[in-house]
Amino acid sequence: MYQGLIHRYKNFLDLPEHTKIISLNEGNTPLIPMPRLSKELGCEIYIKFEGLNPTGSFKDRGMTAAISEAVGRGAETVICASTGNTAASAAAYAARAGLRSIVLIPEGKVAVGKLAGAIAYGAQVIQIQGSFDDALSLVVEITQKTPIALVNSINPFRIEGQKTAAFEICDDLNAAPDWLCLPVGNAGNITSYWAGFKQYQKGLPRLLGVQAVGSAPLVFGHTFEKPETIATAIRIGKPARGEQALEAASESKGKIIAVSDEEILSAQKILAGEGVWVEPASAAGVAGLIAESTKSQFEAKGKRVVVVCTGHGMKDPAIITESFQSPKIIPASYESLAEVIFSK
Ligand code: AN7
């Protein structure tokens, strides 16, 4: 029986002796081929659908490692700053381990499915009058001054756990893909993938990291004091692992680009149109690939491409329900039904 990613990849993960595995059988997510999008763009595209992790995002990979380490060394309380997904994941794994969890989120900027998750799993949720970056500074300060354990991706064990997504892709395809496209926020994930591919020695992809244009410090080369984007998961102006992300992109002969909110929402629709509903930030990788495909030199043409979709669409239902017409209401009669279905 599958027992989670630490169990599966133990020999590849640099975790201390004291680690006590806390798992929800995360990982082992599918690589879903996208025949229509592949045909349209002229490459072989697979989605690594990380929304199918236990709490609905890729964060569970790093969190199983971070919480397993923290609990093993006797931590009683964990804390993180979050745009939402880390919060839900930390809360779930802390609950599983019997730890107290505290999550700091930017006021009013967290999608409802993530907030609900954090509350359901029993976290103490605190809204900060500021951005994710402000919340992260506070978390760093309190974990330096008190025994509370930090589980943001500054924590090296988060990176260890998240490397496993690269291992799974290599195992599924029997090699690394030519390109790997993914959203970039605080830059823990792109750092982890690159470390994972390098360690696994099944080839190296070129990396296409994608930020939202209103929160694109790694593209424009300066921090964003007031990051903005509808993709709230990546509304981050000072990525903690920004330097590593830039290094990874350049070492891989790839790049980090920015896409607009419109391009992100359009990519979300295209993915859902092929049966894969992801949250807006998660569609950034596809948005970036599409943007690249319109250039005269489309470097991924004819290549094998894996696009990481980091979080499930159910995390942020409001982005859909607020912008679409609500479904028609009809009397409960056959005539009315036939009329709406067959009328032009
Ligand atoms: C769906 O939860 O930062 O570049 O606090 O939720 O590793 O930060 C979330 C980030 C991409 C960016 N896609 O990953 C948080 C948080 C989704 C995300 C990212 C996030 P990183």
Residue 182 CB less than 6 A away from ligand 1: no
The confidence score (pLDDT) of residue 108 equals: 93
Q: Which residues of the chain have pLDDT under 50?
A: none
pLDDT score of 33: 98
Contact present, 257 and 293 (Cβ < 8 Å): no
pTM above 0.75, yes or no: yes
> Could you tell me if the CB of 110 is within 6 A of ligand 1?
no
* pLDDT score recorded for residue 194: 98
In the prediction, which pLDDT does 326 show? 87
Distance of CA 65 from the midpoint of ligand 1 (Å):
17
Q: Whose CA is nearest to atom 8 of ligand 1?
A: 186
Among protein residues, the one whose CA lies closest to atom 11 of ligand 1: 183
Kindly state if the Cβ of 214 falls inside 6 Å of ligand 1: no
- Residue 132 CA: which ligand 1 atom is closest? 5
Delimiting residues of CATH 3.40.50.1100 domain(s) in the chain: 5-57+157-321, 59-155
Which residue's alpha carbon is nearest to atom 5 within ligand 1? 82
Please give the CATH number for the structural domain made up of 59-155: 3.40.50.1100
User: From the alpha carbon of 152, which atom of ligand 1 is closest?
Assistant: 5
Cα 85 to ligand 1 centroid, rounded to whole Å: 7
Please give the angle made by the CA atoms of 62, 29 and 218, to the nearest 5 degrees. 50
Inter-CA distances, 186 with 68, 76, 153, 204, 209, Å? 22, 26, 8, 22, 12
| Residue 70, pLDDT score | 98
CATH classification of 5-57+157-321, choosing from 3.40.50.1100, 3.40.50.10240, 3.30.2130.10, 1.10.3720.10? Answer: 3.40.50.1100
How many A from CA of 254 to the centre of ligand 1? 20
Of the chain, the end-to-end C-alpha distance in Å amounts to 52
Cα separation of 69 and 64, whole Å?
Answer: 9
